[in-house]
Amino acid sequence: MSRYYTRVCNFYYGSKSKALIKKAKSLPLNGNNLISFDEIEIISRKSIKKLSIKKINDLPYVLKKIVKKDIKLITKKKKFKNLNFKTLPKIMGVLNMTPDSFSDGGKYNKNYLAKKRLNYLFNSGANIVDIGGESTRPGSKPISSKIEWNRIKYILNNFNKKNFLSLDTRKSHIMEKGINLGVALINDVSGLSYDKNSINVLKKSKAPLVLHHSLGNPDVMQNNPKYKNVLLDIYDFFEKKIEYLRKNGIDHNNIILDPGIGFGKNLKHNLKLIKDISIYHSLGFPILLGISRKKFIKELSKKNDSSSRVGGTISSSIYAMMQGVQLLRIHDVNEINQSLKVFKELIK
């Protein structure tokens, strides 16, 4: 029998969503009445079939069983340490304390500038701020733990513990030191493949993590990346990694999924992932999407590209919100929050 995947689609937001749920015409995403859906796609590596949720009972028995199991995960309320997803999306601000990150390298690699930026991101409405001391942009080379730690240690020793900090690192030594100083989330772009000891640090500390997909290390990941089916290959990657995490004692409620836009993907791959991102809801975990200032915006906008790429970030962020994405990783937090507030009012 072919392997089937369930992607929920045709979403509604706000008061319309509430009204449709009340009439039993749509189903809530993650138990949240503010966003719901009334259609699904049943996807295999050979075909795609779209149908209304009302038609699920008409499916053949085995397929119906698979789809209903997926729907149960998709509609179940999500729990996560230090976050609730009653309002979507949550915003993860970006603070790169590096000289060479792809869009803001060198801007905040002095302690007083980083502190000022951190406060600005939280004051602008960031729910989390992701701090990194090593660039993992395409083509970047690894640096030593000592250099990485020296870049970020001031902020981690002096931040307000009421704030929710995420640590963007691939190294278990850095993870452990950050967790001991109050970091609440680990964001490892390697998907825990760079440092074999990372899983032990996470198990011991019970720290939440972002399970991120990338195709190889940053220095080679953009060298002609290939997939049989990017959407389904990454889905299978997540399933295997989740099984690995569970076997190693990582709590189900402490995992966020990130398909890694731009990490070993070309334009075609990135667009497919963003367009059909809602397939990953059937894995039962919150989804994080990092689309801020990414190269795909330049590739699509061409002569209308800009250094900040705020327009492309806003449009893709709103699209992601309407696909039920729970977290967005964003540089321009104030501008994104502004756009989301206006959009939400307009669709009430």
Residue by residue, DSSP assigns 43-84 as: E-SS-EEEEEGGGGGGS-HHHHHHHHHHHHHHHSPP-BTTB-
For the cut 70, the answer to whether the pLDDT of residue 101 exceeds it is no
Asked if residue 84 is part of any domain, the answer here is no
Shared domain for 233 and 289, answered yes or no, is yes
Residue type, 185: L
For the cut 90, the answer to whether the pLDDT of residue 104 exceeds it is no
Measured CA to CA, the distance from residue 13 to residue 33 in angstroms comes to 8
Shared domain for 98 and 229, answered yes or no, is yes
Which pLDDT score, from 0 to 100, does residue 102 have? 60
pLDDT tens digit sequence for 43-99:
999 999 999 999 999 999 999 999 999 999 999 998 787 788 888 999 999 999 988
pLDDT tens digit sequence for 152-194:
999 999 999 999 999 999 999 999 999 999 999 999 999 999 9
- 318 or 107, which is more confident: 318
Polymer length of the chain: 348
Which pLDDT score, from 0 to 100, does residue 223 have? 85
Which candidate in 7, 265, 294, 295 is catalytic? 294
Shared domain for 212 and 140, answered yes or no, is yes
Residue ending a domain, choose from 75, 102, 123: 75
Residue 110: pLDDT band with limits 50, 70, 90: confident
Phi, psi angles (nearest 5°) of residue 99: -90, -5
Measured CA to CA, the distance from residue 190 to residue 134 in angstroms comes to 13
294 assigned to active site: yes
Which pLDDT score, from 0 to 100, does residue 2 have? 84
Residue ending a domain, choose from 17, 48, 75: 75
Spatial strand order of the sheet with 288-289 comes to 255-258, 209-212, 185-188, 165-168, 128-132, 90-96, 327-330, 288-289
Residue ending a domain, choose from 75, 104, 136: 75
What distances in angstroms separate CA 50 from CA 5, 8, 320, one per listed residue? 12, 9, 20
Asked if residue 55 is part of any domain, the answer here is yes
Which pLDDT score, from 0 to 100, does residue 224 have? 87
Shared domain for 191 and 314, answered yes or no, is yes
CA angle, corner 102, sides to 147 and 98, nearest 5?
20
What global pTM score does this model have?
0.94
For the cut 80, the answer to whether the pLDDT of residue 252 exceeds it is no
Using CB atoms within 10 A of its CB, is residue 138 exposed (0-12), middle (13-18) or buried (19+)?
middle
Shared domain for 179 and 120, answered yes or no, is yes
Structure tokens at 231: 């959407």
Asked if residue 158 is part of any domain, the answer here is yes
- Overall average pLDDT of the 275-286 stretch: 97
Asked if residue 190 is part of any domain, the answer here is yes
For residue 143, how many other CB atoms are within 10 A of its CB? 15
Which pLDDT score, from 0 to 100, does residue 221 have? 75
- Overall average pLDDT of the 191-201 stretch: 95
Shared domain for 103 and 46, answered yes or no, is no
Structure tokens at 123: 């004051």
Measured CA to CA, the distance from residue 311 to residue 327 in angstroms comes to 19
Q: What's the domain range around 272? A: 90-346
The alpha carbon of residue 73 and the mean position of all alpha carbons in its chain are separated, in whole angstroms, by 18
Shared domain for 233 and 295, answered yes or no, is yes
Which pLDDT score, from 0 to 100, does residue 105 have? 60
The domain total for the chain is 2
Measured CA to CA, the distance from residue 260 to residue 266 in angstroms comes to 11
For the cut 70, the answer to whether the pLDDT of residue 218 exceeds it is yes
Helices (H) and strands (E) in the chain, counts: 11, 12
Asked if residue 275 is part of any domain, the answer here is yes
Asked if residue 259 is part of any domain, the answer here is yes
Question: Which segment of 212-221, 223-232, 259-268 scores lowest on mean pLDDT?
Answer: 212-221
Location of structure tokens 């250094």: 307
Which pLDDT score, from 0 to 100, does residue 86 have? 86
Which pLDDT score, from 0 to 100, does residue 29 have? 97
- Overall average pLDDT of the 250-274 stretch: 93
Mean pLDDT of the chain: 93
Which candidate in 137, 170, 171, 329 is catalytic? 329
Asked if residue 246 is part of any domain, the answer here is yes
pLDDT tens digit sequence for 282-340:
999 999 999 999 999 999 999 999 989 999 999 999 999 999 999 999 999 999 999 99
Q: Which residues contact 70 (CB under 8 A, 6 or more apart)?
A: 5, 6, 282
For the cut 90, the answer to whether the pLDDT of residue 140 exceeds it is no
Measured CA to CA, the distance from residue 132 to residue 152 in angstroms comes to 7
Shared domain for 146 and 52, answered yes or no, is no
Measured CA to CA, the distance from residue 241 to residue 315 in angstroms comes to 31
Asked if residue 81 is part of any domain, the answer here is no
Shared domain for 287 and 143, answered yes or no, is yes
For residue 84, how many other CB atoms are within 10 A of its CB? 12
309 assigned to active site: no
The CATH number of the domain where 127 resides is what?
Answer: 3.20.20.20
Shared domain for 68 and 153, answered yes or no, is no
Shared domain for 46 and 101, answered yes or no, is no
Residue type, 146: K
Residue 24: pLDDT band with limits 50, 70, 90: very high
Which pLDDT score, from 0 to 100, does residue 100 have? 64
Shared domain for 69 and 95, answered yes or no, is no
